[in-house]
Amino acid sequence: MSTENKKLAGKVALVTGASRSIGAAIAKRLAADGAAVTITYSSSPEKANEVIRDIETAGGKAIAIKADAADEKAVRAAVTKTVATFGGIDILVNNAGALALAPIDQFTIEDFDKSIAVNVRGLFVATQEASKHLRNGGRIINIGSTNSDRMPFVGGSVYALTKAAVVGFTKGLARDLAPRSITVNNVQPGPVNTDMNPENGPFAETMKSLMALKRYGTTDEIAGMVSYLAGPESDYVTGASLLIDGGFAA
């Protein structure tokens, strides 16, 4: 895959939690756009290596690093290794996430702590460390959720809390990094067809009934929006939370 004339040629991207599903699709798309890509994973080295092989087979450059999003030292080390391997960093995609669902009176403190550790603290750590190295004109793209705008079922209050925090962080960070022409945006997917949430799964029909388009999204559709935000056409977009949810929150 020649990077000549590709919109991200010469750029370096780090995608957290990218061994499968949405993260894997994002990593492959950014590589197809010409970027060298680092992916992190927590517990699936085989799947992570498969993503790397797919990128390399297509002619791209990529490495995989084991780094649980809840492990501060591992996350910071992943940023350091990315810079050491590829000579810098231009794009950070905070994709790693945790999902725990239960009514509030049954929600365990362990699940609460993990949700905060991955969805909020881990995102902060990766962003803070990457911001030290991001080149001027860089990109930070958070993967939030339509559930920050709408939580129509019981048990999702803590997940909605963590994703609403991402909205506020995105807005504030856009101000912090604007002097360096670094844009910060938040992609908010709705139901997406993945292994953990298949379009024919037990909750699928309920989810579809809440959506205008009555179908699940695809991982490639989410990757397409990330590709736009990572590229030069989005230079004037920052501090935004962009829904890609089939009308789930409409």
For residues 154 and 196, the model is more confident at: 154
What percentage of residues in the chain have a pLDDT greater than 70? Answer: 98
The angle, 0 to 180 degrees and rounded to 10, between the axes of the packed helices 21-32 and 45-57 is 20
- Domain extents in the chain: 12-244
Is the pLDDT at 1 greater than 80, yes or no? no
pLDDT for res 196: 85
- At 110-124, the pLDDT tens digits run 999 999 999 999 999
Burial 10-25 (b: 16+ CB within 10 A, else e): ebbbbbbbbbbbbbbb
N- to C-terminal Cα separation, the chain: 39
- At 35-44, the pLDDT tens digits run 999 999 999 9
| Consecutive H or E run containing 244 | strand 241-244
**Chain-wide mean pLDDT for the chain?**
97
Q: Which CATH number does 12-244 carry?
A: 3.40.50.720
Question: How far is 81 from 40, CA to CA, in rounded Å?
Answer: 11
- At 42-67, the pLDDT tens digits run 999 999 999 999 999 999 999 999 99
Q: Which residues contact 232 (CB under 8 A, 6 or more apart)?
A: 7
Mean of pLDDT values over 190-211: 94
pLDDT for res 235: 98
Mean of pLDDT values over 226-236: 98
Is the pLDDT at 2 greater than 60, yes or no? no
Q: What band does 166 get if pLDDT is binned at 50, 70 and 90? A: very high
Mean of pLDDT values over 5-13: 96
Q: What band does 233 get if pLDDT is binned at 50, 70 and 90? A: very high
Residues labelled catalytic: 159
pTM of the model: 0.96
Question: How far is 93 from 14, CA to CA, in rounded Å?
Answer: 6
- At 211-221, the pLDDT tens digits run 999 999 999 99
Question: How far is 184 from 174, CA to CA, in rounded Å?
Answer: 5
